[in-house]
Amino acid sequence: MRVSQSVTVVFGALIIMVALFINSLRGLSLFDAMMYVSTLLQMPILVPLFFGMFIKKTPDWAAWATLAVGMFVSYLVSFVITPDVIANLLGLENGFTSVKRQTLP
* DSSP assignment of 17-75: HHHHHHHHTTTS-HHHHHHHHHHHHHHHHHHHHHHHHH-----TTHHHHHHHHHHHHHH
Give yes or no for residue 84 having a pLDDT over 60.
yes
Choose between 19 and 9: higher pLDDT: 9
Choose between 102 and 85: higher pLDDT: 85
Task: Encode pLDDT of 40-57 as tens digits.
Answer: 778 788 888 888 888 888
Task: Encode pLDDT of 18-47 as tens digits.
Answer: 888 777 777 878 788 778 778 777 878 888
pLDDT of residue 27: 80
Give the pTM.
0.54
